Structure 1
C-alpha cells in the first residue's frame, strides 16, 4: 500500500508541475475562453468502465455516474476540480459461483488544464468508500484513489458543453491479501457554466 501511495503522490506532483510550467497556446488575450468560459462549471453524467489486471478476473465491467465542479484559478486554462460519484462493478460468474457486485463511492479533487483549446488533461486523487464491505468480504471500507484523465469539451451553446473524458482509475486494496481495483473508464457529461 505504501508504494502505491508514493506512486500516486509522485504522479500528482508531476501532473501539477507540468500543468503549472506549460505555457498558454493563445497569442491573443481575451476576457473569456471560447471553450470553458470564465466561471465555475458543473457537470453531471454517466460513467462506464472495464476492469484491468487481476481486478478483471472477478469483475466484467462497471456502470455509474458522477457530478463534478470546476473552479477556475490563475487563468481560464487551469481549474481545480471536485468530483463525487458512484460505481457498480458487476461480478463475473466463476464456475457457477457469482460473487457480489462491488459498489464504490469515489470522492476526488484535483487539477484540470487546457493546453490547447477544448482538449484537457486532468489529475485527481481522493478516497473511495466501499458501500457493501460485508458482502464482498473486505477488511477496509475506504481506500486511496487516483485518476489521471484526458478529455475534450464540445461546446453546445454559450454556457453549455459536453465533457467527454477517458481515465485510468486505481484504488488501493480493500483487503490485506487482495489486489487493487484498477479500471479504464469513460465519462460523458453534460456541463453548464454558472
Structure 2
C-alpha cells in the first residue's frame, strides 16, 4: 500500500507542476469490467480512475492513470481488487476517435494476499464532446501468468 501511495503522490506532483499549461487535462472515469482471461471465480468488476492527459499535438497525447477496480466473486467467493498505475500514449486519427496503450505497475489483492504485477492496457475510445468520452479496452496484469478483463469506461474531463 505504501508503494501505491508513493506512486500516486509522484504522479500528481509531476502532473500538477505542469498544470498551468492548457495542454494538461484531468479526467475522472467509471468502468465496468468483464472477466476475460484467468478470472473464472469472478463475475463483474466495477471501478473508478483518475487520468492525466497531456496533449503533445492535436493527434497525440501522453497519459498517466491510477485506478481501482473491484472484481466481485461468484458463489460467495471473495472480491479481487485491482489497482493499476500506468503511463501511456493516445493517438487521435480523427478529432473524436482515439486508440490508446498504457503500461505500468499493477497490484492485485484477494483474501489478504497481494501481488505486484506488470499492468498494461490497449483500447479505443470516442470523444462525445469536450468533456465526455466512451472507451473500451483490454486490461491485463502479468506475473507468472496473466489475468485480464474487458473494460467499458465513461470518462469526464474536469478542465
Q: Which residue of 2 aligns with 1:43?
A: 27
Runs of 4+ in 1 over 3 A off after TM superposition: none
- Which has a greater percent of helix? 1
The aligned runs of 1:1-194 (5 Å cut-off) are 39-55=23-39, 57-73=40-56, 75-93=57-75, 98-130=76-108, 132-133=109-110, 135=111, 138=113, 141-155=115-129, 160-173=130-143, 179-193=145-159
- Which has a greater percent of strand? 2
Distance in 1 of aligned mates of 2:158 and 2:77? 39
Q: Could you tell me the TM-score, scaled by structure 1's length?
A: 0.66
Deviation, structure 1 residue 99: 2.4
Q: Could you tell me the TM-score, scaled by structure 2's length?
A: 0.80
Deviates more, 1:62-71 or 1:38-47: 38-47
Aligned residues: 138
Larger Rg over CA atoms: 1
Distance in 2 of aligned mates of 1:163 and 1:89? 23
Long gaps (5+) in structure 2 = 1-21
Provide Cα deviations, 1:64-121, integer angstroms capped at 9, x if missing partner: 1101011111x1211000000000000111xxxx321111211110000101110000
